[in-house]
Amino acid sequence: MSGKSAALYVVATPLGNLGDLSARAVETLRQVPVVAAEDTRRVRGLLTHLDAHPKVLSFHSHSPDRRQDLLLEILGEGRDVALVTDAGTPGISDPGSPLVQAVRAAGFRVVPIPGPSAVSTALSAAGLAADRYLFLGFIPRKGSERERLVRTVADSEWTVVLYEAPPRLADLLEDLADQAGSDREAVVSRELTKLHEEFRAGTLGELASYYRSEEPRGEITVVVAGRGEPASPDVTATDVAGRAKTLLADGLTRKAVVARLVTELGVPRNEAYRIVTALP
């Protein structure tokens, strides 16, 4: 795998279950002479399991610039490098992207070895629309940027995927409920592909209340439903209320009516909820 045309192999590794490691990833990790890893202890355990023996170098968000320079020197010597993150696909909420850019700019090949990703894994089992989605990763703990991103989630037409640390999950869900409405649907996934994997679906209000009393553990991915298509400028509150009354008269529950208004008229879910709950 080495030679004049050395390459950076961007290798996806399991989120938890080692059975998810692809045969191509196994072959790559056994043959490359160097692995650049976000967490060297974690990757050494994986390499031992695979009976792979490359040199392991740390590469993370706090690595000095000379570490990237060293990896470029290794490639310049004709030796391939595999880039791995703690778990999942490198470059997704980790420092892999700048290295990929530098490697490509230096004229070396970048070869993806696809596999597990917490984003796609959570989306696939959330049961929320995923034909279009927005990924925001970890959002700041506080400040104006946090407020801006929470509003972005609330205003998004599409499903939004977030990462969060266990101690901050309840705060995040409460902030989202305040901005998006407590009835916005969401799914919290925890410990994906691991022994204690869990999916909990509900409204933001329900989930915030649950995780305020039951602090979660492990790695968490939150999937939040979008508010739906933007309403037509011709749709008025009177139109929405009229359609809601018709649907209620047809026997639909208020929750079902809210969902229909979002789908049919493109009304933001919190606005539809406000109108429906105000009806007699």
pLDDT one digit per residue (tens) for the chain, 280 residues: 544 589 999 999 999 999 999 999 999 999 999 999 999 999 999 999 999 999 999 999 888 889 999 999 999 999 999 999 999 999 998 888 999 999 999 999 999 999 999 999 999 999 999 999 999 999 999 999 999 999 999 989 899 999 999 999 999 999 999 989 898 999 999 999 999 999 999 999 999 999 999 999 999 999 999 987 655 667 788 889 999 999 999 998 998 898 888 777 877 777 888 899 999 8
Would you call 111 helix, strand, or coil by DSSP?
strand
CA distance 161 to 159: 7
Given a contact cutoff of 8 angstroms between Cβ atoms, the answer to whether 39 and 83 are in contact is no
CATH for 7-116 is 3.40.1010.10
Bridge partners (DSSP) listed for residue 111 = 9
Ramachandran angles phi, psi of 98, nearest 5°: -60, -35
The pLDDT score that the predictor gives to residue 233 is 64
Bridge partners (DSSP) listed for residue 199 = 189
Number of H helices, E strands in the chain: 11, 10
Contacts of 255 (CB under 8 A, 6+ apart): 183
User: What's the token pair of residue 228?
Assistant: 């739906």
CA distance 59 to 67: 7
CA distance 113 to 159: 26
CA distance 53 to 208: 45
Given a contact cutoff of 8 angstroms between Cβ atoms, the answer to whether 30 and 50 are in contact is yes
The pLDDT score that the predictor gives to residue 274 is 87
The pLDDT score that the predictor gives to residue 95 is 80
CATH number for 119-224 (one of 3.30.950.10, 1.10.10.10, 3.40.50.920, 1.10.3720.10): it is: 3.30.950.10
Give CA separation, 273 vs 167, 178, 184, 270, 276, in Å.
30, 13, 10, 5, 5
pTM: 0.80
- Of the candidates 171, 146, 164, the one whose C-alpha atom is nearest the C-alpha of residue 222 is 164
Task: Label residues 124-157 b or e (16+ Cβ within 10 Å = b).
Answer: eebebebeebebbeebeeeeeeeeebbeebbebe
CA distance 216 to 80: 40
The pLDDT score that the predictor gives to residue 2 is 43
CA distance 66 to 142: 32
